Amino acid sequence: MDFLILIFVILLLIIGLAGCIIPALPGPPISFLGLLLFHFFTLHHMNTNTLWLLAVVVSVITFLDYWLQVYGVKKFGGGKKAINGTIVGLILGLFIFPPFGVIIGPFIGAFIGAKTEEKEDSSRAIKIALGALAGFLGGTILKFAVSIYITILVINQFFLIF
């Protein structure tokens, strides 16, 4: 039974890492779910304070991920159309130009969205698109760091007993 649970934990950790890049999957919460499954259903136990701290960190990072993209667009002068363009570009880019579409898509989406807002000039639209890209990359790096940390915790805890 432990073997089957470990397989699910590994799958959740892998999906969590992939979710750091794929916008439809919340990476750190999935990784944290794998950690909880590992903690509660195997002989390997984590420190309770660590679990609570990670729950807070995962919650904050998940919020920051969405906020950073919006903040990046707004900070560089974009409006609702640029923000929506970023999201649409991210989703389309993922499917049309994988794996680089997750970087190119938000940039192009924010650019098109910014261009449609009161006929912005191209240099301003590029600046807004760069803000969207910076927000996306910042959120992705944060999510990936947390998911990697959770994965390392599980691996270390697993090898402590064996």
Q: What is the pLDDT of residue 87?
A: 82
Going by C-alpha positions, the residue among 91, 96, 109, 103 that lies closest to residue 133 is 103
Q: What is the mean pLDDT of residues 41-56?
A: 92
Comparing 23 with 53, the larger pLDDT belongs to 53
Q: What is the pLDDT of residue 161?
A: 62
At 71, give phi and psi (nearest 5°).
-60, -45
Comparing 118 with 47, the larger pLDDT belongs to 47
* Burial class of 21 by CB neighbour count within 10 A (0 to 12, 13 to 18, 19+): middle
Do you find a cis peptide bond into 26, omega within 30 degrees of 0? no
pLDDT band at 18 (very low <50, low <70, confident <90, very high): very high
H/E stretch holding 48 reads helix 48-75
Counting residues of the chain whose pLDDT is more than 90, the rounded percentage is 40
Q: For residue 118, is pLDDT > 70?
A: no
